Chain A
Amino acid sequence: MRVQFKTGYDQDIRLFADAREALRYAALLAIAAALPFLLDDFLIGEATNVLIWAIAGMGLMALTGHAGQPSLGHAAFLASGCYANAILMGRFDLPFLLAFPLAGLFTGLVGVMVAIPALRLHGIYLAIATLALSILTEDIIVLAEPWTGGIAGMIAPTISIAGVEVDRLASPGQFYWLCLAVAVVVTLGYRNLLRAPLGRAFLAIRDSEISAQAMGVNLAGTKTAAFGLSCMVTGWAGALMGHFFYTFNHEVFTVVISIQLLLMIVIGGLGSIQGAYYGAAVVGIIPQAINVARDGVVEVFGGGGVAIPGLETGIFGLILIGFILFEPLGIYGRIAKWRLYFELFPFYRRDMFRRQKSYLKTERLR
């Protein structure tokens, strides 16, 4: 195990702990940027899908994983970002580079407006309230037909950045790079947030609202900021999703998407930025893996390739149950344990991550 010799406070504050870590992330980014040259168009599409899910996952992770506010309504914010972006580009003829940030800001504002009544709710009650929002979204999209195209849906306008046409089908590589750029910017902002006072305030209200208040953290303000930032990022993911799907209508952003997003960050590992990426990878890979497996099964047993309804959801549910039972810290936690195992080899003990029982909490003041 390498022990870092620290000589200044900045070593704990800067982005990367040491040169090795910086190099690791630089290599990762280089590989990610080179993917369009290495993979075919179909796989690039899948990689783009994973990136978009990861951006949405980071949005929800900030709210649920770090600020401790569960939301089952994030499909609504995906929809808000998606439609806002398409309307700004289609109706108001704004260029993508203007429409896209505005769509995020608009969704952030929607999130703030949702947060204000939701401030009085905790835990499961907040989840139910946001679930209602998710269910409402479909109807709102249908009712707002003059703007959203209702049941017929909308077509995402073509993106043009500095004269270059970025189209999901014609130039998947460029669209992938666009998504990668957004993902990198969001990740950096997220990292900055976590090392700044607001990020610490998020952790504080997650673990103890009462002592957060006693330390001077404004509960309402912090929760509103969490909702606003989370929804802004989710809105951006929604905008990209719109371009990725090319056409979309009220049936795209269902409550199932909200649930999938929440499951995704739980599988990835609550309370870690990497968790959003791991979860997105799982969500992206499962449908493909099932397809491949189904072909294999059909080849071996025959049966003519009948689609089994609900198979994907069922497998996803099984994976989730497995994680909650055996690895509540998600993929992130599992990887952290493996790393520690190899760093400490042969001194790793099985109970190293076992938490001490937490002591009685002052819940009665709520």
Chain B
Amino acid sequence: MRFLDIRDVTVRFDGVTALEGVSCAVEEGEIFAIVGPNGAGKSTLFNLISRFCEPASGDVLFEGASILGHSPPDIATLGIARTFQNIELFERSTVLQNLLIGRHTRRRASIPLQLVFAPSVRREEIAHRGAVERVIDFLDLQPYREKIIAGLPYGVRKVVEIGRALAMEPRLILLDEPASGLSVEEAGDMRFWIDDIRRRLGVTVVMVEHNMNLVSAVSDRVMVLADGRPIALGTPAEVQAEPSVVEAYLGAGMAVP
């Protein structure tokens, strides 16, 4: 049984075919990168897994069961967390509140109990807070705990978004361009965090990334998409040597110097 199994999916938006016949399987505990030029369908693949768009054909299986019948909130309950390319944080809330939303799938108390803030709600909140503090420690977010997102620099927002996904204690995390817009140092930190997410937290990572240094440093396998079709799949070194990949990125007739 594959951990995440994408079987021959095709996604069309009206006339445009965003993904065509894409198949790949991610093993548990793997760091799997998806690369490709702009418009290759990388984010569409993520949106398909988090159920924001429907496939025309094909199937997506998580731990052997199809997830196509699920709604986006159900996907979170299954243990699949994600981040967004353009950072989708809750702008007018603090970092702490954002991370606590990550605990939403694990809430137990009913609405009336929440309204009177019964002792069970308080215990639950303290437990959630403990889990969030572990994420804050893990990602070194201590200085920003009480800060409103709207006033934070871009690099910190990126980390907060990953923190929010990790607060879910997911089994699989989908990172959409975790290093885009980051400085060299921040991208370097990101590399260690992604590595640690797998090694220390035991979370399987699937990421879309353009920064090839980061991809070759952390990922076990890489899939290259171009125009919605997979053109190569293998270790970072194998993929970079593939002529079709060089062609997709640089055009025909070029060679890797």
Contact = CB atoms under 8 A, between A and B. Distances in A.
Given A12-B129, A201-B101, A193 B90 contact: no
Interface string A185-207: 00001001101111111011011
Nearest to A199: B114
B93 A203 contact: yes
Interface in A48-83: none
Contact of A362 (B84, B92, B93, B130): B84
Contact of A197 (B104, B122, B153): B104
B97 interface: yes
Contacts of B36: none
Given A197-B109, A198-B111, A203-B93, A215 B86 contact: no
A291 B50 CA distance: 59
A362 B73 contact: no
Contacts of B47: 365
Contacts of A129: none
Name A's interface SS: helix
Contacts of A160: none
Contacts of A201: 101, 104
A245 B160 CA distance: 51
Chain B interface size range: 35 or more
A217 interface: yes
A210 interface: yes
A13 B90 CA distance: 20
Contacts of B85: 362
A12 B96 CA distance: 10
Interface string B90-113: 111100110011111101010100
A212 B75 CA distance: 12
A217 B111 CA distance: 14
A17 B182 CA distance: 36
B117 interface: yes
Given A214-B76, A216-B77, A218-B73, A365 B52 contact: yes
A189 B90 CA distance: 23
Contacts of B76: 213-216
Nearest to B53: A365
Nearest to A193: B115
B97 A198 contact: no
A297 B154 CA distance: 55
Given A10-B126, A212-B101, A216-B77, A197 B89 contact: no
B37 to A, nearest CB: 19
A300 interface: no
Contacts of A13: 122, 125-126, 129
Contacts of A356: 150-153
Contacts of A197: 100, 103-104, 107, 109, 114
B100 A200 contact: yes
A80 B91 CA distance: 35
Contacts of A195: 117, 125
Contacts of A360: 86
Interface string A230-251: 0000000000000000000000
Nearest to B116: A192
Contacts of B82: 214
Given A196-B125, A365-B52, A216 B87 contact: no
A211 interface: yes
A361 interface: yes
B114 A196 contact: yes
Residue of A204, A206, A360 contacting most chain B CB atoms (<10 Å): A204
B102 A215 contact: yes
B168 interface: yes
Interface string A208-228: 101111111111000001000
B130 A9 contact: yes
Contacts of A7: none
B121 interface: yes
Contacts of A218: 71, 73
B90 A207 contact: yes
B90 A217 contact: no
A10 B92 contact: no
A271 B107 CA distance: 23
11 contacts: A12-B96, A12-B129, A196-B109, A196-B121, A199-B114, A204-B93, A210-B88, A212-B90, A213-B76, A361-B88, A362-B85
Given A12-B129, A214-B72, 18 more contacts: A10-B126, A13-B129, A193-B114, A196-B109, A196-B114, A198-B111, A200-B97, A201-B101, A203-B92, A204-B101, A210-B52, A213-B73, A214-B82, A225-B111, A356-B150, A356-B153, A360-B86, A365-B52
Question: 3 tightest A-B contacts by CB?
Answer: A216-B76, A211-B88, A196-B114
